[in-house]
Structure 1
Amino acid sequence: MASSLDTLCGQAFGAKQYYLLGIYKQRAILVLTLVSAVVAVVWAYTGQILLLFGQDPEIAMGAGSYIRWMIPALFVYGPLQCHVRFLQTQNIVLPVMASSGVTALSHVLVCWLLVYKLGLGNKGAALANAISYLANVSILALHIRLSPSCKSTWTGVSREAFRGIVSFMKLAVPSALMVCLEWWSFELLVLLSGLLPNPKLEASVLSISLNTGSLAFMIPFGLGAAISTRVSNELGAGRPEAARLATRVIMVLGLATGVSLGLIMISVRNLWGYAYSNEKEVVEYIARMMPILSVSIVFDDLQCVLSGVVRGCGLQKGLWFGIICGLVVQMMLLLAITMCTNWDKEVGKFQTKTCTTHTLCFVGFSASRVLIMYGSSSCISLV
């Protein structure tokens, strides 16, 4: 929902209506805090929800306990995103980068203190996120209030922030759904992989592929944020030709980075699997997946930078419907493949494979999931 500020603050800054940036930021913080309260209720009952979906009781309760301790981080993360976009749309990026760097370095110390020194375990890890987010947003808030560069865009707390919430939601909700649908489409692949023959291996390899794609995605994500700011600024200033030129430039950069990342993936395809597992079967499967993943990265790269253009123009609803159409097509193709599978033939491929004693293989982390992989000589289990 905070990505709606890419449009609102960016265009207001380009139109030199500087005081509106502060109003939009306050309004966004208010809305995100209310939404966070609703999400917090869901998080509080995560353990029970997972049990309803048939998850292992021990894992469900562990996840439920961890997510409850993450609730403080939820209420800090919203304002943090609002502050980041408030500065980013003014082309003030160095303070954001510096604040993020300092927070990342200190996060290691905070985790050590809470997890090991105080013995809080995974609860300490959850609280460490809240502390780091709070430190980050505090640094940015001080910069906004003390820096001369924000003197015209931040004029203090205003009652005007309580007005126009409905119009803000009309842009914020499609922005949120746009992001959610994109991530959910990838998560749907993991769920569907459980229907394939040898689902443990398929789910494991697909999870590694998604983690690799997320890593490569950070580069076009930065390009998308940059073009979103540039386009919104130029449109707000009434310079459509400059916005068109910036779009053409970012498309060339997006294509170049996508092709470069794809070539890198192909060149390391035989080694990349060892970053996640020491099982030869997994490594070989990943090597076969990498060329396919490299092609998807090229297109994902371009859609990411074009998403930034769309956000800058304030056309999130159109992008939202585009993602829905892509998700439907993806689901139909996967359904067709699943329905046409010769299960008897597939069983023959794996009838000689049996599971042996499992050994801890690796732990992989990403922004939205924690993957703990266990491997054996003949199978991989995803917990």
Structure 2
Amino acid sequence: MEAQNAPLLQHLRHAGEDEAKGRVRWWNRVIDVDEAKTQFLFSLPMIVTNASYYLIPLISAMFAGHLGDLELAGATLGNSWATVSGFAFMIGLSGALETLCGQAFGAKQYGKLGLYLQASCIVSLFFFVILSVLWYYTESLLILLHQDPAISRLAATYVKFLIPGLFAHGLLQNLLRFLQTQSIVEPLVVFSAVPMFIHICIAYALVNWTCLGIRGPALAGSISLWISCLMLGTYMFKTNKFEQTWEGFSSESLSYFLMTLELAIPSAAMVCLEYWAFEILVFLAGVMPDSEITTSLIAMCDNTECIAFTITYGLSAATSTRVANELGAGNSSKAKRAMFVSLELSLLLTLVVLLALGFGHSIWSSFFSNSPKIEKEFASMVPFLLVSILLDSVQGVVSGAARGCGWQHLATYISLPTFYVVGLTTSAVLGFHSKLYAKGLWIGLTCGLACQTIALLLLTFRGKWEGIDVKGTKTPVLRRFEFE
């Protein structure tokens, strides 16, 4: 009996195995599971790391709020000014390393990574000097922008005590990119979370146990950023993991200064153009009728978009690293496949955010305000906000691919007209002329974001990746763009 049943059991077993293999093959056609797993495990620590560093200046502003309403307004304005004029710019400058170090690592030109890192730090120092002068005259600049004189004075004081932290932030971002391009991201969680918790203690002590006033939380931010930088730098110098990629300080790095600068400036422009467009939107909301409601709505949408983008930014970092590494190794087809997988993951994770915001927008709006009018108006803006978050999730990934390819300058040429000609012009027309107010402002910028996303998709999908082999060349940067 057992002998008679054995062929049948074998047949059923093989049929089950074939069916399972078929399911696996079907799933692999939809998404490359191994690549998706690699990118997810890479992007998760990057999301936590970037969120932790983002919270340091934000926590400082929160502690300033305990000093009084005027101090809260000054710290909020100062933190916003510091972000758009300094911190975001430093993040953008470090994007040059995503191309340089990423492709050099893929090409196994390990010695160049340390040289590129030093060159990028020199670039950061160069712009730190310029931005420090700009920050020193913050009060005059804010008054020139028609901000309240009393708030501007406190904001200027706040920003001046953040100046030491600006250079630390620049060095920190360079170190992050240096490690990121080598796919060393797990330790970053510890080296970002620990300083954030230390920062809470320092800010509490300086606000409650000293007479520094608004200078206290700002000084705490600078101290914590230096702690973060020194912790990460010590890890890099002391561990044995970087014996090949860090060979010590060398004057040879100066020869890479101009090449790094050439990539750093468009990288910074890629980041800042979007930041500045959203800030202009807040400014436009402030000169509309019922400006208090309009400004609150735009600020709520802006903050929601930024929080949602932290997920995309982690995947963007994974995309730029994977694309740069594969192009450096001469594997253009794998580089393109990595970008497709990132897009699939980004859309999947964004779908979760969209569902949560779509069904829970009333709960979310209650975190910002208890006003029934604000809640009702925000609910009417949610559909447009969902569209902008979806578009941002796509453009974040393709922007990462552009950085990995070294096409930052092309992405900048795309962002400038889409945001400032299409986006802000449409916002002004719909917001003021059509009297749609907050909705009009957000719809206009979403139009600009849609144009940017479509153009970046054409850039990456139609750009010639095949046949590019940078392995063994003097520099791994891809400077020429050709259509397929």
Is the pair's TM-score, using the shorter chain for normalization, greater than 0.5?
yes
Given residue 248 of structure 2, which amino acid in structure 1 is its aligned partner?
A: G
Amino acid paired to 1:106: I
- Corresponding residue of 1:172: 264
How much is the aligned-residue C-alpha RMSD, in angstroms? 1.5
User: For residue 82 of structure 1, what is the aligned residue in structure 2?
Assistant: 174
> Aligned-pair distance for 1:120?
1.9
% same residue: 38
Residue 57 of structure 1: aligned partner: 149
Matched to 1:8, the amino acid is L
- Stretches of structure 1 that go unaligned for 5 or more consecutive residues are 347-383
Give runs of aligned pairs for residues 145-160 of structure 1, distance below 5 A. 145-160=237-252
Indicate conservation of the 8 Å contact 2:119/2:254, yes or no.
Answer: yes
Q: In 2, are the aligned partners of 1:12 and 1:18 still within 8 Å (CA)?
A: yes
2:107–2:328 Cα contact (<8 Å) kept:
yes
Q: Distance in 2 between matches of 1:339 and 1:113?
A: 46
Is 1:140 the counterpart of 2:232? The answer is yes
Greater shift after overlay, 196-205 or 68-77?
A: 196-205
Q: Which residue of 2 aligns with 1:298?
A: 390
Contact 1:273 1:284 (C-alpha < 8 Å) held by counterparts: no
Structure 2, gaps ≥5 residues long: 1-92, 438-484
Question: Is 2:122–2:257's contact at 8 Å kept on the other side of the alignment?
Answer: no
Say whether the 8 Å CA contact 1:177–1:320 is kept in structure 2: yes
8 Å Cα contact 1:272-1:283 kept in structure 2: no
Code of the residue aligned with 2:398 in structure 1: it is L
Indicate which of 410, 418, 429 corresponds to 1:336.
Answer: 429
2:94 counterpart SS class? coil
Deviation of 1:271 after TM superposition, in Å, equals 1.9
Following superposition, the deviation at residue 189 of structure 1 comes to 1.4
Q: Per residue, is there more strand in 1 or in 2?
A: 1
Comparing 312-321 with 286-295, greater Cα deviation is found at: 286-295
Alignment of 1:15-34 (within 5 A): 15-34=107-126
Q: Distance in 1 between matches of 2:178 and 2:339?
A: 22
Q: Is the helix fraction higher in 1 or 2?
A: 2
Residues 346, 393 of structure 2: 8 Å contact kept? yes
8 Å contact from structure 2 (residues 322, 335) kept in 1: yes
Equivalent position to 1:112, from 175, 192, 204: 204
Matched, 1:309 2:401: yes
Contact in 2 for aligned 1:7/1:314 (Cα 8 Å): yes
Moved more, 18-27 or 109-118: 109-118
Q: What's the offset of the Cα at 1:336?
A: 2.6
TM superposition shift of 1:164: 2.8
Q: What is the Cα deviation at residue 338 of structure 1? A: 4.4
Structure 1 Cα separation of the partners of residues 255 and 431 of structure 2? 50
Equivalence for 1:269: 361
Find out whether 1:200 has 2:292 as its counterpart: yes
Give the aligned partner of residue 38 of structure 1: 130
After superposing the two structures, state which structure 1 stretch, 62-71 or 281-290, moved more: 281-290
* Partner residue, 1:355: none
1:178–1:319 CA contact under 8 A, matched in 2: yes
CA offset digits 1:319-364 (Å, max 9, x no partner): 1111112211112212332463369xx9xxxxxxxxxxxxxxxxxx
Question: Partners of 1:134 and 1:3 in 2: how far apart?
Answer: 20
Q: What residue is the counterpart of 1:351 in the other structure?
A: none
Helix, strand or coil for the counterpart of 1:197? Answer: coil
Check if 1:218 corresponds to 2:310.
Answer: yes
Q: Tell me how far apart the structure 1 counterparts of residues 262 and 105 of structure 2 sit (CA, whole Å).
A: 20
The question of whether the paired residues in 1 share the 8 Å contact of 2:103 and 2:324 is answered with yes
Question: How do 1:210-249 and structure 2 match up within 5 A?
Answer: 210-249=302-341
Work out which of the residue numbers 415, 418, 422 in structure 2 matches 1:326.
418
Deviation of residue 312 (structure 1)?
0.6
CA distance in 2, matches of 1:183, 1:225: 18
**Are positions 1:283 and 2:401 aligned together?**
no
DSSP 3-state at the match of 2:353: helix
Listed one character per residue, the Cα deviations across residues 256-309 of structure 1 (whole Å, up to 9, x for unaligned) are 122221111101112221101111111111122122211211111011111111
TM-score (norm 2): 0.69
Equivalent of residue 342 in structure 2, options 216, 240, 250: 250
Aligned match for 1:209, one of 290, 294, 301: 301
Out of 258-267 and 148-157, give the one that drifted further.
258-267
Report the AA paired with residue 134 of structure 1: W
Q: Deviations over 1:228-247 (max 9, x none)?
A: 11110010011112111111
- 2:222 maps to which of 113, 125, 130: 130
Of residues 87, 103, 108 in structure 2, which corresponds to 1:11? Answer: 103
Give 1:311 deviation, angstroms.
0.6
- 1:184 corresponds to which residue? 276
Report the structure number with the largest CA radius of gyration.
2
Single out whichever of 29-38 and 116-125 deviates more from structure 2: 116-125
Aligned counterparts of 1:260 and 1:119: Cα–Cα separation in 2: 46
Cα distance change on mapping 1:94 and 1:339 into 2, 3 Å: closer
For 1:53 and 1:195, how far apart are their aligned partners in 2?
Answer: 12
